[in-house]
């Protein structure tokens, strides 16, 4: 079986290490653990890896967050992967730092990357792994917060939880969305 694992983020050094790029970060950890490198391809950076009998196509869109759906549609078609075999890794302001929440479908929660994917695919019926980035910011400072980095104490949590997210991605590919939800939500 083949799966598309999409990590949402923005390209460019100014976004590297920000909360909004947690999707890129999780995929980087997953690729590094498998000695897999990303290649600059059409609409994104792509890597291929295997987990037992599953082939994972890792995608970090280069379209910027608000146009992520273009890269998703292209790579689903290019690799001939059904949408139910896709998992989108995304930052989530409404979850405490490091909380992992896997869902089968659902709303975009105001996230522009998820909103564009739903618009391009024609619905919300795709899997997502939401990674909590916290919400400790003053009113009106949401954009500054999501585009900021993590403090040293938060970095430790993010590093630990990124490994858990990688295990959840593998569980999704090997055992399905229900298994991943039951075993990794709130870990």
Residues marked as catalytic: 20
Rounded-to-integer distance, Cα 184 and Cα 187, Å? 5
The answer to whether residues 161 and 131 touch, using CB atoms and an 8 Å cutoff, is yes
- Burial of 35 from C-beta contacts in 10 A (0-12 / 13-18 / 19+): exposed
DSSP state of 34: T
Burial class (CB in 10 A: 0-12, 13-18, 19+), 18: buried
CA distance 34 to 94: 31
Closest CA to 83 of 24, 23, 179, 3: 3
Instruction: State the DSSP H helix or E strand holding residue 130, giving kind and residue range, or none if neither.
Output: strand 127-132
| Backbone angles phi and psi of 142, in degrees to 5 | -60, -45
């Amino acid at each position: 079986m083949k799966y598309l694992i999409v990590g949402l983020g923005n390209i460019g050094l100014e976004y590297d290490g920000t909360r909004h790029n947690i999707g890129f970060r999780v995929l980087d950890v997953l690729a590094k653990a498998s000695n897999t490198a990303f290649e600059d391809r059409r609409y994104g950076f792509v890597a291929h890896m295997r987990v037992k009998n599953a082939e994972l196509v890792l995608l970090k869109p280069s379209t910027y967050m608000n146009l992520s759906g273009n890269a998703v549609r292209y790579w689903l078609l290019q690799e001939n992967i059904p949408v139910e075999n896709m998992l989108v890794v995304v930052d989530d302001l409404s979850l405490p730092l490091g909380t992992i929440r896997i869902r089968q479908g659902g709303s975009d929660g105001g996230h522009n990357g998820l909103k564009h994917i739903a618009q391009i695919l024609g619905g919300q019926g795709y899997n997502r792994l939401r990674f909590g980035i916290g919400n400790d910011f003053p009113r009106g400072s949401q954009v500054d917060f999501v585009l900021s980095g993590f403090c040293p104490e938060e970095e430790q949590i993010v590093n630990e939880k990124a490994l858990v997210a990688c295990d959840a991605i593998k569980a999704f590919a090997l055992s399905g969305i229900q298994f991943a939800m039951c075993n990794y939500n709130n870990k």
